Structure 1
């Protein structure tokens, strides 16, 4: 990616995805019947939280790699521009 990076805090789309993923890992809104449904002995609500946690971790890694402007990158860009 050779495009200019903005801080992720200014990107509304990223915040929407964060909100959805955080809602996915919050068990308070699950119906009580989710505790009765088992998948390989694990309640359905726990499976949803585990999957949501993995997706949140993957999304955070993506944001840090492709959307976060690090100080080292700024310094490298300035050094290349000075040459």
Structure 2
């Protein structure tokens, strides 16, 4: 079995910086008040941008969970099984 080192993404500053930038871009506060036009694929531009960055946020968080976060769950489960075998 391949042993992975424990990785905690909370300690990596670049993760938080990219997350902050994405949150700022999701909310279209930078558009003029009441702006509806132009339209992109039938949506107002602000709605298209908000939807686009929401999808980017989901993909980014999924990628973080898969590649940047390695918790010790497997090791904890194995230790628990060994304890159960000893006491059971």
Q: Secondary structure at the match of 2:5?
A: coil
Deviation, 1:47, is 0.5
Deviation, 1:7, is 1.0
Assess, with a 3 A threshold, how the Cα gap between structure 1 residues 30 and 12 changes in structure 2: closer, same or farther.
same
Match of 1:81 in 2: none
Which structure dedicates a bigger proportion of its chain to helix? 1
Deviates more, 1:6-15 or 1:27-36: 27-36
| Distance in 2, Cα, partners of 1:4 & 1:34 | 49
Match of 1:54 in 2: 55
| Distance in 2, Cα, partners of 1:5 & 1:62 | 17
Assess, with a 3 A threshold, how the Cα gap between structure 1 residues 32 and 60 changes in structure 2: closer, same or farther.
same
| Distance in 1, Cα, partners of 2:72 & 2:31 | 42
Query: Structure 2 length as normaliser, TM-score?
Result: 0.71
Structure 2: state its 5+ residue gaps: 80-88
Match of 1:17 in 2: 18
